[in-house]
Amino acid sequence: MELIFLGTSAGVPTRSRNVTAILLDLQHPTRSGLWLFDCGEGTQHQLLRTAYHPGKLDTIFITHLHGDHLFGLPGLLCSRSMAGITHPLTIYGPKGIAEFVESTLRLSGSWTDYPLKVVEIAEGVVFDDGVYKVTARPLNHPIECYGYRIEAHDKPGALDATALIADGVKPGPLFQRLKQGETITLEDGRAINGRDYLAQPQPGKKLAIFGDTAPCPAARLLAQGVDVMVHEATLESAMEEKANGRGHSSARQAAQLARDAKVGKLIVTHISSRYDARGGESLLAECREVFPACELAEDFAQVSV
């Protein structure tokens, strides 16, 4: 999986940062596609500056309905249709997302020429296609807001062909059945259990993408043991009380969660417009004092999961 940050500013765009949007390139051999997490104003302009085509976009996850995470959605939906794209698109988001999409399209006299499905979510598993599972957890923000945990299903372990041949199993169609964990019966009457010849499964990658939030118990559930965690760091620790009062986290609090949840890497984003480049580096330094494996997201930065 590959993360592409299309917008990393909190609340309003700045000269160097657009508002929130994160693209996820699945890069899976059997399940290709692009997912988008949030769609702040100007997201389609940001997308045009990348090598990624909106026609490949098949799923959008919205964390909450604040404008800096949502106002780019109607334009993206309409432009996708005007470009002649017919590939279906599904939007997941909190209660109200269906009304927002329907109302903006209706009142502007717009429509989509592709199948569009809008799913209003609650806590729990919101998506599972057998390759990826997405779980939503409610966060601590003034309006209903979610974080998403994306997990690739484990890959079956490799089949020990050498051992099978040594035990009298000839290479061929039987190998595929054994790789699926089936038990087969040989001509001599012996039963061979495929599970006895499989290596340990390869754990799937895990990713957590947070909406806006002050510290809350659900955060640990979302983040526990993920390879990469994307979390807001709206303000510095000196302004922690102000951040929490508005449903946000400080850089230090994001790093504490990463440390406590034993994540592999922390990417902080949703940076207040009060910070210039030097201020951003100061936020990053605060994070690294608590959790060294941390990076500060910039627009168009790419991070492998």
Instruction: Quick: pLDDT tens for 26-61.
Output: 988 777 789 999 999 999 999 999 999 998 999 999
pLDDT score at 182 = 84
Cα(212)–Cα(216) distance, integer angstroms: 11
Mean of pLDDT values over 95-123 = 97
Q: Per-residue confidence at 283, pLDDT binned at 50, 70, 90?
A: very high
Residue 129 pLDDT more than 90?
Answer: yes
| Most confident region among 148-162, 180-194, 260-274 by mean pLDDT | 260-274
Kindly list the distances between the CA atom of residue 223 and the CA atoms of 9, 165, 175, 272, 290, in Å, as whole numbers in the listed order.
22, 43, 38, 23, 16
Instruction: Quick: pLDDT tens for 132-164.
Output: 999 999 999 999 999 999 999 988 778 888 888
Q: Per-residue confidence at 213, pLDDT binned at 50, 70, 90?
A: very high
pLDDT score at 167 = 84
Q: Which residues carry out catalysis?
A: 68
Domains of the chain listed by start with CATH number: 2-155+202-304 (3.60.15.10), 161-197 (no CATH)
